[in-house]
Structure 1
Amino acid sequence: MRRVFILLLAALLIGALLSLGLQYDTGYIRISLGNYLIETNFWVGVLLILVVTLVVQFILVAARRLRSGSGLVSTWLNQSAERRARRRTTQGLLALAEGNWPRARKLLEASAGKADTPLINYLAAAQCAFECNDHDAVDDLLRKAFESTPGSDLAVGITQAQLQIAGHRYEQALATLVRLRKQAPHHPFVLKLLRTVYEALEDWKELSALIPELRKRDLVNAGELQALERKTWHNLLQRAADDIHRQDKASRDLGPLVLLWDELPGSMRRDEFTIHEYARHLSLLGDEAQAETLLRKVLRNHWSDELVNLYGRIEGEKPDEQLLVAERWLQDRPNNPELLLALGRLSLRNELWGKAREYFETSLRLKRNNETIAELARLNAHMGHEEESNKMLLQSMLKDSGLPNLPMPKA
């Protein structure tokens, strides 16, 4: 109320002064512009000058507010631009879903500046550029995505890695993912992408170090993880064996292969397929005695047809003792065709021809097996039963050929 009173008092005072001023003849104002002449009373001129000054001041303030983004007009313009950006973003995402990559990229990139979430626009536009095989544009759009939103380096990096993997640029993807893992060591999706890259690059050593983390985070189901772990260690064993094979035969050092076996996790050292691979490599590299010892220990507590088949192929230090060990297993498994096949081979190694033939025939009666047929046919041929051997091989070949049942001429 006090402020209103002061304003009213000031207005009355100014009005009184103006009224007194107008009673006197204060002259006039004359303005000449070319052929035009303007004359007016002094007080009217002052009033006009005041009005013009206020109008100019209003225009300057309005222009300044418009330029700084404030005011009703600028607000309306910004809202209009944002609505247009949202509409174009929606159209761009629809085009992306429809597979219209060029249109989607154009709409998404053009509306990114005014979009509510420019990061989404740029990432989606990068996907479109990738589908158009414009890899330079992909990198540029990902850079813009990173610059548009603080704290988006992980999201942008993951998208970049995914596009690099999809484009089979595995080395670049590996560099991206290693950088991301330093920022987020336990990020689930980064770990899963690393698994994909290591597998594609056949970097089995790094993959073997990653597998415990995948298991700990429960990122791969149990069956798939076991297959991945088996594949990884089998490849590492194969590479170690290949390196030893390239050495001079007289001075081969099996140390790296044995050391690698010692590094295997317990689950793999109990896995029959991995045991089979390791024993097979030992045998091929000339250390059949160590392979036989390993297989004997394993088969004593864990039976496996695959392992007993390999056991029959390996020559231990004492073939007679090896045969006796296998015959003790036969007491518990008298009708196991794989064990009988192995016993036949071990009998051959001990030059027990009749016993070997009996084992092969018994195995063949229990299960028709091409290995057993081949062993029996070879033995019969060397024992002078060539006709029987040839007949057996011919019958086996015809049975496995899938030939139709057709009439044949009589002999």
Structure 2
Amino acid sequence: MDSKHPKYQIAETIELIYKNGLTTTSGGNISIKDADGSIWITPSAVDKGSLTERDIIHVFEDGTFNGLHKPSSELPFHEAIYRARPDIKAIIHAHPPALVSFSIVRKTPNTSIIPQAKFLCGEVGYAPYELPGSKELGEKIAEAFSDGSQSVIMENHGTVVGGKDLSETFMRFETLEFCAKTSIRAEIIGGLKALDSHEVARFEHHDNMLPEFNHDHKGSEERLARHHLKEIISRACRQGLMISSYGTISCRVSDNSFLINPININRRALNIDDFVLIKNGHKENDKVPSRAVKLHTHIYEQHPKISCIISTQPPNLAAFCVANAKMETRTIPESYIMLEDIPILPYGSQFEGGREVVNALGKHVPILLIANDSVLVTGQSILETFDRLEAAEFSANSLIDSRIIGKLQPIQDHELQDLKDKFLS
């Protein structure tokens, strides 16, 4: 995305934010600071649902601007942030629902619920309320950023997020909203359990280094698998089952090889050539696979019937992960048949080859939760694995919502046995 002109970057990002329900028609603004010191910014009072690159405003250092409209009324705080933080080159301000919930109770979300969020978002700053568009608001927000924060909750207003470029800023923004939404859902089922600094650090030392092999020829089966993986990861992002900053998917190509997505690439922007082929314990040359590559390797080695693995963090399943809570699957027949009983493993079980994860999986355990990390789903095909993931997230959503209206009445033991005898024997 960031090789494109700033106008196109901003238009594409605001469209993505709007389509994913992270802002309203009139709410929010995005800017990029150009190398010459000028700023490209969204306009004032233009529909975010139909905004195009032609609507983006170019603001020069002397305060003059060029464009079809006036620049956003929040331009002053964008300028204040850029002055306070020369390392920040892009800013997103919006009113996503979960982060606004934190804003109006005057709290900041805890990003230590999962290690990826902590590394990407860090500690979240807080800016006291001031009148929108005012110089004072810009001063308060710039002060909140001056301590090194990359994200700030604006009291009774929303959030503002910065980054080295717009791609990183969007990933941080989306991840912060994920943290907020997941935390709220976790509170409904018993409260979240955050990681300490030592636990977070374990993630960064997760070993994904493998010897290389030269991969000059891609056979037809591999090329088809690459297309299927790209399609399903894009679908997962559209369906809210994966976000831009986290999610791993892999599939077998042969008995001794599989494809897996690379590390640190926006999941929404993956191309078919980005996926990394792993063969006989070696990785495709000049690519770096996901940190989960050794875990996936051991799963495929020990479970020959598994042909696809997805690790991800949809908000309702992630709520069970960060609450360290067991998820009941005896809800409706379709859920139990697809999911059976879902164990939850302790944080850390996914590291160092994931022996505990590998041993927990089996014919009647196709899916499991890892505390403060992810849901790991397996299947005999890419579509079956994705279907199972969808069913699990839908079930988690229903379970959390049901807490508000009554006590869960699970399928009874004799009814469960009938399901097992007919569908799972």
Of structures 1 and 2, the larger Rg is shown by 1
Q: TM-score range by the shorter chain?
A: under 0.3
Relative to the length of structure 1, the TM-score reads 0.23
Higher helix share: 1
Greater percentage in strand: 2
Structure 2 length-normalised TM: 0.23
With CA pairs under 8 Å and 6+ residues apart, which has the higher RCO, 1 or 2? 2
